[in-house]
């Protein structure tokens, strides 16, 4: 039952993130090119009602994600957030008042069916909550280094798909790290109360990692269309989170012949994720000035 409730909260988080993404994209499109990747971008964004509304929705989604991580494993919760992409398309279509084409519905079904198949076959389970300082150090250095490399690759490039994809990849790693730290912090709150939660460095770590990921996502959305940023963000966050769940918390998934439906499900999810932003770009990007 706990796993089912965890999955439900993860789904609510995906819906919230999707709504926030559309609103933040509307706000980010107003940022002048010269103010990208600087503190000046924040000045423009805080003046945008759409961006502020998106942040408010994302905060609610983060609360749902925290509850999901308290009740379930990182390997269960984070892959469910892949459904954020089809929800993003649905919300974007509603905002632009355009009917979702058949290919959009087909890709959404592919993502949902593939994700359901992969999770049912993998059946994430087990894990522990005691993480050694050495493992935390390795995790922070690895994820921080990977984010720095993505940013370094993005900065010299002009606005466009490549720049957006690199910033989005860095943001995806940041959000995966945020979830990893958040799980530790929420477990501390659940087991030891608010005082221990506020005394835990992971609490401030996930806030800092989340703020950094949000800043990188704003730059990704300013740099190029959703067709470039969303696949890297959606798949990257899910894959990195799955890896961190296994490496940091010792979570396990089924192997053997179960790898076959897991692989089929992963292919369906990837295929759908690569199709969906193209539908969104074709319909929303022209509709929004």
Q: Which of 109-118, 119-128, 232-241, 277-286 has the lowest mean pLDDT?
A: 277-286
Per-residue confidence (pLDDT) for residue 282, from 0 to 100: 45
Backbone angles phi, psi at 254, to 5 degrees: -75, 145
Report the pLDDT averaged over residues 121-142: 86
Mean pLDDT of the chain: 82
CA–CA separation, 240 vs 252, rounded Å?
15
Q: How far is CA 132 from CA 104, 247, 249, in A?
A: 44, 12, 10
Alpha-carbon distance of 125 to 252, in angstroms, equals: 5
DSSP-derived 3-state class of residue 252: strand
DSSP-derived secondary structure letter, 127:
-
Instruction: Please compute the mean of the pLDDT values over residues 32-52 and round it to a whole number.
Output: 65
Tens of pLDDT, residues 166-198: 998 999 999 999 999 998 998 898 888 889 999
pLDDT at 203 (0 to 100)? 93
**pTM above the 0.85 mark?**
no
Q: What pLDDT score was predicted for residue 72?
A: 81
- Structure confidence at residue 41 (pLDDT): 63
pLDDT at 288: 41
């Amino acid at each position: 039952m706990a796993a089912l409730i965890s999955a439900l909260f993860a789904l609510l988080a995906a819906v919230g993130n999707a709504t926030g993404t559309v609103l933040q994209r509307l706000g980010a499109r107003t940022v002048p090119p010269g103010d990208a990747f600087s503190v000046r971008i924040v000045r423009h964004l805080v003046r945008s009602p759409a961006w502020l509304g998106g942040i408010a929705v994302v905060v609610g989604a983060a609360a749902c994600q925290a509850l999901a991580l308290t009740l379930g494993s990182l390997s269960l919760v984070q892959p469910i957030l892949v459904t954020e992409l089809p929800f993003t398309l649905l919300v974007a279509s509603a905002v632009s008042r355009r009917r979702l084409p058949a290919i959009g519905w087909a890709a959404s079904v592919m993502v949902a069916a593939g994700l359901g198949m992969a999770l049912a076959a993998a059946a994430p389970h087990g894990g522990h909550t005691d993480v050694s300082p050495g493992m935390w150090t390795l995790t922070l250095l690895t994820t921080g280094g990977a984010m720095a490399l993505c940013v370094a690759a993005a900065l010299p490039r002009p606005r466009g798909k490549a720049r957006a994809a690199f910033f989005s990849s860095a943001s995806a790693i940041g959000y995966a790290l945020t979830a990893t730290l958040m799980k530790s912090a929420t477990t501390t709150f659940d087991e030891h109360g608010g005082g221990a939660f506020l005394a835990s460095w992971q609490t401030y770590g996930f806030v800092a990692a989340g703020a950094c990921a949000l800043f990188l996502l704003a730059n990704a959305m300013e740099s190029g269309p959703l067709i470039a940023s969303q696949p890297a963000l959606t798949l990257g966050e899910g894959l990195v989170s799955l890896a961190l769940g296994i490496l940091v918390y010792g979570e396990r998934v089924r192997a053997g012949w179960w790898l076959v439906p897991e692989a089929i499900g992963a292919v369906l999810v990837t295929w759908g994720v690569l199709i969906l932003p193209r539908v969104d770009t074709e319909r929303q990007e022209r509709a929004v000035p």
